Amino acid sequence: MAQTPLFNDLLTSHQSGHALAQGFYASAEVFERDMEAVVMQEWHFAGLANEIAEAGAYMVFELLKESVIIVRGKDGNIRALANVCRHRGSRVCLEHRGTVSRFVCPYHAWTYDLDGGLLNARMMGKDLDRSALGLKPVACDVFHGMIFVSFADAPTSFADMRAELDEPLANFGLAHTKIAHRTRYPVQANWKLLVENYNECYHCGPAHPEFKLTHPTHMSADKVEPFNDAMLARAAAQGVSTAFIDRVGPFCPAGSVDYTYSRHSLYEAYDTGSKDGKPVAPLLGALKGYDQGASDLYVGMLNPILIYNDYAVIYRFVPVDHQTSIQEIIWLVHEEAEEGRDYDLEHLCWLWDVTTKADKHIIEKNQEGVNSRYYQPGPLAEMEFYTQRFLDYYIARLSA
């Protein structure tokens, strides 16, 4: 895409260590570039592999104009197929999930196998090269039971991430979780304001009275450090990894997805992220007990995952248009946990529901201010290090 003067001005005027200029959050043109240069190149959490356990079970994942069928094949493998008929382009799958033996386009009934191959095209004659008319494959990978999709032509690899994170993640048993709850919070703001907000806890003190009772991370690093030091022995005793792995930007191996893993301490009265600090679900995986900590895992730049001992939370930042986004949150519990018996949805979801509602409010007020004629990008605080790192990554992608 040719770069217009406006766009070049925006890029060259950006001052590292500062917020972005208004145009980055208020322009439909920049939004289109964001989608191509960043969002479509990234990986996106779509669902859990055990949601489509049987051959023919599928789910449809949608992002902006794209719709993808994620299906378990007869060979047991999970594939992602563009939900676009190779005849005249109709959506093939209209239901969001189900189980089928083949996919039949609702328009003229072209029929596709579970691996996307074209099985039958009515009245098209023997000469039609069916082998060239299968549903197009979309990049798809499964990491600890979590299915990720990318729309990139040359998507980054999970190999380095697997090699380094398989062990630290092993005891959490993420591949043996189920989705207890999945919900969407519409936010009237540019998608980057959601990501920036998630990446810093500078706002947690003033904005999150509930979170701040649970996680000391609302304080400066020197104050948080003693809590983390005290957690190390507890974590070791409970089979929880306290590895610190940071493979983002210059630390990311060539061709690899960016990834991170770290663990931080909660306040000691808190076993987990809950209203009273008491557990809200059975222990995950092979954990032995509570270390009063939580792990931060990133798969790519857009999939932060927070892992307590009894549940995990996956975040998705879903862009809709230049000033509309969706914050999606997915709560995972042990796959054998039963609602009503082992967990109560209200208790399980309380902290991240109340926190996300507060985030929605502050992010929308952020967007309103950014839209003002008086807005000027200000300097970031030390506690906004990861936000700055996201902005550096973003500017580098757009400049490439």
Asked if 37 contacts 153 with a C-beta cutoff of 8 angstroms, the reply is no
Q: How far is the CB of 203 from Fe ion (least distance, A)?
A: 6
Residue 130 found at the interface with ligand FES (CB under 6 A): no
The DSSP code for 59 is E
* Binding-site member from 22, 82, 100, 108 for ligand FES (CB under 6 A): 108
For the chain, how many helices (H) and strands (E)?
10, 17
Site residues (CB under 6 A) for ligand FES, limited to 353-392 = none
Binding of residue 110 to ligand FES (CB under 6 A):
yes
Q: Verify binding: residue 31, ligand FES, rule CB under 6 A.
A: no
Task: Kindly list the residues in this chain that would bind Fe ion in the complex (CB under 5 A).
Answer: 359
CA atoms 186, 191, 194, 199: torsion sign: positive
Helix (H, G, I), strand (E, B) or coil at 64: coil
Between 89 and 206, whose beta carbon lies closer to ligand FES? 89
87 binds ligand FES (CB under 6 A): yes
Query: Which of 266, 217, 261, 221 lies closest to 243, judged by CA?
Result: 261
> CB atoms < 10 A from the CB of 93, how many?
24
Pick one of ligand FES, Fe ion, none as the site partner of residue 70 (Cβ within 5 to 8 A by kind): none
Among positions 57, 63, 68, 105, the unique one binding ligand FES when judged by CB under 6 A: 105
Piece of the chain touching ligand FES by CB under 6 A; list 100-108, 263-271, 336-344, 358-366: 100-108
Which one of the spans 39-47, 87-95, 192-200, 273-281 is the region binding ligand FES (CB under 6 A)?
87-95
User: Which region among 19-27, 33-41, 107-115, 382-390 touches ligand FES (by CB under 6 A)?
Assistant: 107-115
**Which two structure tokens, joined as six digits, stand for 306?**
């927070």
- Residue 315's DSSP bridge partners are 329
Name the nearest CA neighbour of 265 among 286, 296, 304: 296
Q: Supply φ then ψ for residue 149, to 5 degrees.
A: -125, 145
CA-wise closest residue to 194 among 303, 313, 33: 303
Residue 91 interacts with, from Fe ion, ligand FES, none (CB under 5-8 Å by kind): none
Interface residue list for ligand FES (CB under 6 A): 85, 87-90, 105, 107-110
